[in-house]
Amino acid sequence: MTIRHHLSDQLLMAYAAGQLPEAFSLVVATHLSLCDDCRAQAGSFDAVGGALLEEAGETAMGEDALAQTLARIEGLPQGRSGAPKPAGIFPAPLAAYVGGGPDAVRWRRVGGGVRQAILSTGGSATARLLYIPAGRAVPDHGHQGMELTLVLQGAFADEDQSFARGDVEISDETVEHTPTVLAGQDCICLAATDAPLRFRGLIPRLAQPFLRI
């Protein structure tokens, strides 16, 4: 697998610093599990952050700091034992979120053979899985914020570029496009947005509140 479209250093640094919304962190973590280059770069940012912490001065803590920390740990939900494992085309971080592979996803039909599933994430950003049949185009749209789209199966074309498994498309307010799935295989993507899309067509705009996209 050759990955041609990677995450930006800005996103990787924000991920290493824990500054990304959960939805974007899920996309980044899933991409890192597929991409050796970005995983190495993220590791270097982690190392820099660790060095800065070691050089930072000491900070006084309250007498009940340890008790509060232990209480918060005890209040966390108990996860499954062992490291998460990939499931089918879903890398481990995503498989852990949905409890398996594509068959475990609660897909919702949105018309034209397209399906989506909104994942449960905290914060203002939204993560969703999209299933788009081969040859199908997404309605022409722009962006009011950032969108990360990670390809898990198949491929799509956007202007003069194509995105296949492992590739990430980064879109912002400057991007207006009509992504089209290439022939041969249906496309499954993991996408995260921090603002509603801006559709040109009337029908997509009317359906937008119901689809939460």
Tens digit of pLDDT for each residue in 127-138? 999 999 999 998
Q: 106 in a domain, yes or no?
A: yes
What mean pLDDT, rounded, does the chain reach? 86
Q: 25 in a domain, yes or no?
A: no
For residue 193, what are the CA distances in angstroms to 26, 95, 107, 203?
12, 20, 18, 21
Q: 130 in a domain, yes or no?
A: yes
Who contacts 141 (Cβ-Cβ below 8 Å, separation ≥6)?
176, 177, 178, 197, 198, 199, 200, 204
Q: 22 in a domain, yes or no?
A: no
Number of domains in the chain: 1
Tens digit of pLDDT for each residue in 163-203? 999 999 999 989 888 999 999 999 999 999 998 877 777 66
pLDDT for 195: 87
Q: 186 in a domain, yes or no?
A: yes
| Half-sphere exposure (Cβ direction) of 7: Cα atoms closer than 13 Å | 31
Residue 137 sits in a domain of what CATH number?
2.60.120.10
Q: 70 in a domain, yes or no?
A: no
Q: Which domain holds residue 151?
A: 102-211
Q: 79 in a domain, yes or no?
A: no
Tens digit of pLDDT for each residue in 79-128? 444 567 899 999 999 999 999 999 999 999 988 899 999 999 988 899 99
Place of tokens 């034209």: 112
pLDDT for 107: 96
Q: What is the tally of helices (H) and strands (E) in the chain?
A: 6, 11
Place of tokens 């921090």: 194
pTM for the model stands at 0.82
Q: 111 in a domain, yes or no?
A: yes
For the chain, the 3-state helix, strand and coil shares in percent, each to the nearest 5, are 30, 25, 45
Q: Which range (35-49, 63-77, 144-158) has the least confidence?
A: 63-77
pLDDT for 23: 96
Residue 49 pLDDT grade (very low, low, confident, very high; cuts 50, 70, 90): low
